[in-house]
């Protein structure tokens, strides 16, 4: 009998002895008989490949350790897969949420038209009123800063801003 046939015979014997306990062991770890059978088969194949190059002192220990490593790999792959799916679902949900809150084309056009009306009204304001209003709302300057810039009193700046707001309320609403 040659080395290959004796190795195959040894593998058949080991499979007969160890297949049931190995599948039972794996079933407890993966909670699925099909996966347990697949992992057991892969463990036996790896043991067979290993036995072709070396002699195993404890085939049972090697087989169970290999099977356990395969379970760990499978769990790790499943975890990566689950994280990927969660990320994709979150991404899709985020896209859906963004679509939900994205303005429609009509709303966008309406807002642009409203903005154009505001610009026209602001441009038609008296020069000092417009300047005070744009410095306050556009540049975020305080009344005292605007007063210094325009060389007028703070009270005058307040009056310009009030006048600008009245004009806007009247013309835009």
pLDDT along the chain (173 residues), means of 10: 54 74 90 89 87 77 90 86 80 64 78 87 92 90 92 92 89 77
Q: Mark 102-112 as b/e (b = at least 16 C-beta within 10 Å).
A: eeeeeeeeeee
Helix (H) or strand (E) holding 61: helix 59-101
Q: Which of 21, 2, 12 is nearest to 60 (CA)?
A: 21
CATH topology of domain 3-99: Rna Polymerase Sigma Factor; Chain: A (1.10.1740)
> Given this model, what pLDDT does residue 135 score?
92
Rounded Cα distance between 34 and 171, Å, is 75
Distances (CA, A) of 165 to 53, 139, 155: 90, 16, 16
Tokens, residue 65: 């350790």
Tell me the domain boundaries of the chain: 3-99, 105-172
Quick one: three-class SS letters along 114-143? HHHHHHHHHHHCCHHHHHHHHHHHCCCCCH
> Given this model, what pLDDT does residue 131 score?
93
CATH topology of domain 105-172: Arc Repressor Mutant, subunit A (1.10.10)
> Given this model, what pLDDT does residue 93 score?
67
């Amino acid at each position: 009998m040659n080395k290959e046939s004796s190795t195959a015979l040894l593998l058949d014997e080991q499979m007969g002895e160890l297949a049931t306990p190995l599948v039972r062991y794996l079933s407890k770890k993966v909670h699925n008989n099909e996966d347990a059978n697949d992992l057991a088969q892969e463990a036996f194949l790896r043991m067979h490949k290993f036995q072709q190059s070396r002699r195993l002192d404890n085939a049972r220990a090697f087989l169970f350790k290999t099977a356990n490593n395969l379970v760990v790999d499978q769990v790790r792959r499943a975890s990566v897969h689950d994280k990927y799916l969660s990320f994709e679902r979150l991404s899709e949900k985020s896209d859906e949420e963004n679509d939900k809150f994205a303005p429609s084309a009509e709303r966008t056009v309406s807002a642009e038209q409203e903005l154009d009306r505001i610009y026209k009204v602001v441009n038609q304001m008296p020069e000092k009123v417009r300047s005070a209003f744009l410095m306050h709302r556009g540049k975020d300057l305080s009344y005292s800063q605007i007063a210094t810039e325009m060389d007028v009193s703070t009270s005058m700046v307040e009056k310009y801003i009030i006048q600008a707001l009245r004009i806007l309320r009247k013309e835009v609403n």
